[in-house]
Structure 1
Amino acid sequence: MTRILLVDDEAPIRRAVRRFLEHHGFQVRLAEDLASARTALREELPDLMLVDLRLPDGEGIELLAEAGHTPTVIMTSYASVPSAVTAMKEGAADYIAKPFDHDALLLTLRAALRGVPAATTAGSDRDSDDDSLGLVGDSVAIQRLRDQIRRVATTQSTVLLRGESGTGKELAARALHRLSSRATGPFIAVNCATIPEGLVEAELFGHAQGAYTGAVKARTGLIQAAHGGTLFLDEIGELAPAAQARLLRVLQDGEIRPVGANENLKVDVRLLAATHRDLEAMIGEQAFRADLYYRLRVLELSIPPLRERREDIPALARHFLSDLAGNGGPPAELTQAAQKTLESHDWPGNVRELANALERGWVLSPDSRIEPDHLGLAPATGNGDTTPGGSSLNDYFRRFVQQNQAQMTETELARALGISRKTLWERRQREGLPRP
């Protein structure tokens, strides 16, 4: 069983990540600071370390020199991504930015255990030219997408990835990076929707010392951190107007100007952007710049929703159940009734919802045989618009959230709905239902 040393000073994060990793068959030991991590290392070297960059008694990268050749993944906030990139140059295997999706965490850890950065594997365990690129399935739609990715990856053009939440846009972006001439450079993934509006420009472009209150020293931005590699801007439709104008300059001139600086800096990045929003409608509402849209849409890839490639559901289920059984976990199988439930469900949360449902079934099945009620899915109605009670899915979502958000955390709400926290946040915004 793979042993992981998890070092983080926030108890809720330690508990949540430990529970998730143990569900996937890892053996996890916890440490809350450098001192307790050093004690753990003296007693037994783990197979991998997952370490927060900022700890109460120092920086997590101090452990790199003390853990021999143990692969180490650095956890950090978006604000410290440039520092995490520096940590990789000093020997860290990879980094992951908080808040992270659990699927992305699992991808990163498994890639680190194999000795290759997740950014260069695109979630695939195979290196051959005909591998799945992390996009599982043999439907016509997914085969076409893989072919498009292979062709587009060889260019330096900007790419706009379009698709519903949970379809795998980041996996496609990682595959584009892996197959490109920039594969040895950094892959910086940024979710524009999770950065506070007032900090977007400083996060992306960096800032000079004294640029604003609290800017006690200059800081490298995320775009500069991606120099020589690929910058993936997820949910580009959420980018503030001022940041849109600055980003346009990057695409036109290959230059950035940190907030408060007097000089421009040259940057060499390939930009990949993704959205589930209707950018054309946003342009009509003057919420998105038309000139930026046309710069982004040099090449466009559409990621198909799961309901349009239902024939891939059995292969995806085998893939996720195999992942769950890996690293010493018990094997699990779907009953015929559970298989029919999966194939008839409408999957508004797409592949991510399927993965969550299978994980829930794997955890709840007492004898490793997953029955329909273990999956936590509403019975199918023959269309994607209504629930068995006749109300719309949007009505059901609003009612469920309003009734349960007082006593449930966002993580608990997302799990109960069978979606990720990111999808929950996106649907809250779309429904005008922010958390009180």
Structure 2
Amino acid sequence: MAEGIIICDAQGRFVHFNASAAEMHGMGASELPPEQWSAGYGLHYPDGGNLIPPEDLPLARALRGENVERVEMCVRHNGAPASVWLEGNARPVRNSDGTLRGAVVVLRDITARRRHEEDIGMRLHAEAERLAAEAQRVQQGRMLRLLLDHLDIVVWAVDDQGVFTFQEGKGLAAAGMRPGQLTGKAIVDVYDQKTVPGVLRALRGQSTHEMNEMQGIYWESWHIPIVEDGKLAGAMGLSLNVTEWFRTKADLESKLSLIERQQEVIRNLETPVIQVWDKVVTLPMVGIVDSRRAGRVMDDLLAAVTRTQAQFAILDLTGVEIVDTSTAAHLIQLVQAVRLLGAEGIITGIRPNIAQTVVSLGLDMSRVTTLATLRDGLALCIRRLSTGRRRP
């Protein structure tokens, strides 16, 4: 999903709420009419079962002059069985004299990533707890032997002095050890205390869970205190060899990163925003512009203006043959949105047929700067930058 972009003025009224942002919040355009576009409307994010107070939302914080980075929020849509996780970045937008003009929020849907992480963690945790409980009940029995002989795990136990009393499991082979090799040895004599903090905490009565790496092998371990007659008698643990999981995870992350880079290249080719001069960006468009592409143009251009702190944004239509009626109106709205970010939008290279479409729609172009060519637009920006002017 594309990034969600929300822009509001200094009073907290929304002036832009793109389709991706609306979808992330589980609502269509008809569900958020302009008279209800205020920064607190419908945007209370529950986090861990508790609502984030409205004053702590990224948009509200940006309206107080804060720059907000990577805030994770959980959105629960009405009637939806699951939640949506969002990552929000926000910043205030200021006038040239430093007064607050508004704020902009960029949202990313991280639901898939969160569910992936939670699913893997839950499955590993559930499996390890099941194995640990089974091993504790049948430590000397047939079931324990089957588990130890067929699963890539290590099960061990120490007494209250930290001396190994049991050490078995197929996973020992991966560490170059044999069953019972450490029996009778104190754990602090075999391992550095910094390597086994979870075991030491279990010997103090605290169940622990830790991930560590030893000699190139990744282990996920659970440590359980052993209590007999109300007294701490030692600890036992289960270590699961998760090296293959780590490698698979790294491979998946590498592939996802490649896919994201490829998608970014495709998006940039479709709507190439170019910084042609200091404080000046341009978006040259070629071909047919439909409503979908116009929406992408708005998202990318507004994001570029925000990122580069541009004072001028030139939308060059020299290579555009056809725009539909709804797209023509969308382009005018784009210029207005750019103005709300504190920059000036300029349209260049309008062809006769596009001009006829604009006129037939009766669109108000009185506040939009239009020039014949991209060169003319760039020259105008340079002149105004040299004189310190934005608009006539």
The two structures have a TM-score, normalised by structure 2, of 0.26
The two structures have a TM-score, normalised by structure 1, of 0.24
Find the structure with the greater CA-based Rg: 2
The structure whose RCO (Cα within 8 Å, separation 6+) is larger is: 1
Relative to total residues, which structure has the larger helix share, 1 or 2?
Answer: 1
